[in-house]
Structure 1
Amino acid sequence: MIYRFRILLDNDTNEDVFRDIEIRETDSLEDLHNVITQSFGFDGLEMASFYVSNDEWEQGEEISMLDVSEGQDSVRLMNETSLNDVVHEAQTKLIYIYDFLNMWTFLVELAEIVEEAEGADYPNLMFVHGQVPDAAPEKNFEAEDFNDFDEFDDDIDVDDYDNLDFDENWN
């Protein structure tokens, strides 16, 4: 079977930049990485990862280009993971991040599953829309309100050393 993907550059402008790609369901995520970088005009030499995503485009499990876990919990690798292991009719979305210094971010969505066309070469770049900007779109990682970052929400003032209940002789 052939997977048809739409790969959309995640940017904050009103201009859509996307590529439609066909690739075999048995190809690896590394193959998809290669066709994405080529179709958007990148050299493909920077680090990249795919992330399984839900319908709200929330980042899930990482599937990395290289294992940088340093002996801790190992991550799945692109070259060892076939597309049909992570993408199917019930799981259609991936987030792809290329070049972690510049954070080129792409939304990858399975649009269609079709029969392989006889004599066709895959992967296949089907459609190109929009120009890739010279620099990665800026990402705004700030919350509108600083309190949005308070994951503990425990009303403790960490600057108030006298009331932190710290035992100086703990050892």
Structure 2
Amino acid sequence: MAVLKFRAYYEEDEAVYRDVVIKHSQSFFDLHNAILKSYEFDNKHQATFYRSNDNWQRGREITLEKYDKAYKAEPLIMINTTIGSEIRDTNQKFIYIYDFEKNWTFHIELINVSKEESSKIIYPATSRVEGIGPQQYGTRSLLGKRFVDIEEKYDLPQNNEGFSEEGEETGVENNDESSDDE
């Protein structure tokens, strides 16, 4: 059984990508979930794939469900469409769009085809993570959740060495106090 390796580039930064391995007999729904998991996105929004060419032009649409919009051709449904059925050449490309309001766009490119599957891998799986991916909601620091701990560790008590009273905003505090008295 053929195993396909796709590289899912974040459209806004090609240095950020995830490699996903998946069996050719698995569905686009499986690929959709694997991409979301690899980028740590939730699965709460609409999504669609487009078969694409080398110029990243949108072709046949493969959607999560049929949406309330006009289609040039009847879309394929992810859960019913195997990946192998939509591979036209050895470097097949797809465009993947998630959350139509935020319009997260990924360029998906077939980068390898293997004849043998590994008994150690549960497909689909993420085989490589490169770069810090976008955060679906809000912002993400390089340190993530550990930032607060590090920030607190290096906070110095007021008036310790390295801090002076010069430039403190005591005048502002006095202005606030006088305006409260009025």
Structure with the bigger percentage of helix: 2
Q: Is the 8 A contact 2:4 2:22 kept in 1?
A: yes
Q: Which letter does structure 2 place at the counterpart of 1:30?
A: F
Query: What residue number does 2:61 align with?
Result: 62
Moved over 4 A (4+): 69-73
5+ residue gaps in structure 2? 138-182
- Structure 1: distance between partners of 2:109 and 2:4: 10
What residue in structure 1 maps to residue 28 of structure 2? Answer: 29
Counterpart residue number, 1:42: 41
* Alignment-derived partner of residue 120 in structure 1: 121
State the Cα distance separating 1:90 from its structure 2 match: 4.6
% identity of equivalent residues: 35
Measured against aligned partners, the alpha-carbon deviations of 1:59-85 in whole angstroms (never above 9, x if no partner) come to 111111011258986321000100001
| TM-score (ref. length: structure 2) | 0.67
Q: Where does residue 16 of structure 1 map in the other structure?
A: 15
Conserved? CA contact 1:5–1:20, under 8 Å: yes
Letter in 2 for 1:104: W
User: Could you say what secondary structure the match of 2:30 adopts?
Assistant: helix
Greater alpha carbon shift after TM alignment, 22-31 vs 62-71: 62-71
Residues 117 and 135 of structure 1: is their aligned pair in 2 closer, same or farther, counting only changes over 3 Å? closer
Asked if the contact 2:94–2:108 (Cα under 8 Å) also holds between the matched residues in 1, the reply is yes
Q: Which whole-Å CA distance do the structure 2 matches of 1:7 and 1:100 have between them?
A: 18
Stretches of structure 1 lacking an aligned partner (at least 5 in a row): 137-171
User: What SS is found at the alignment partner of 1:16?
Assistant: strand
Pairwise CA distance, 1:132: 1.8
CA distance in structure 2 between the partners assigned to 1:105 and 1:132 by the alignment = 12
In the alignment, the residues of structure 1 paired with residue 8 and residue 60 of structure 2 have an alpha-carbon distance, to the nearest angstrom, of 19
